[in-house]
Structure 1
Amino acid sequence: MINYIKESYNELRNHVTWTTWSEAQRLTVVVAVFSVVLALAIWGIDTVFSKMVGQYFQWIKS
């Protein structure tokens, strides 16, 4: 287990290419914006389907 941790640390320290701080910030903003847009799209679709199902049951009830 100790050897695994040492090798993992060595791999992260010497062989991984990390992004720059500015690129990490830019990518974080992209992910946040995409998440909000996707959430709004899902909310919109859910609202439309909810209204359609409500209208369908109103129609059947009448």
Structure 2
Amino acid sequence: MSLITYVKESYNELTNHVTWPTWEETQKLTVTVAVFSIIFALIVAGIDYVFSTAIENYFNWVKPQ
């Protein structure tokens, strides 16, 4: 299959066979993704803080004086 045929068939698929969401649906889903991304980032940051503090405290505890 040539590149030109591939591009033509891909364009046909996108214009005639794909069901695109409405503008309202797109906005709603974008907000949902943004909110969950922020929540996930905060969870990862919290876990990182806990582990880095634990490791720092461990090395301060075992450090020879």
TM-score (norm: length of structure 1)? 0.92
> Where is the helix percentage greater, Structure 1 or Structure 2?
1
- Structure 1: gaps (5+ residues): none
Instruction: Spell out the pairing of 1:9-28 with structure 2 (5 A cutoff).
Output: 9-28=11-30
Q: CA RMSD in A?
A: 0.9
- Whole-Å separation in 1 of the counterparts to 2:48 and 2:59: 16
Q: Give distance in 2, aligned partners of 1:11 and 1:56.
A: 58
Distance 1:4 1:14 in 2: 15
Match of 2:50 in 1: 48
- Percent of pairs identical after alignment? 61
The number of residue pairs the alignment matches comes to 62
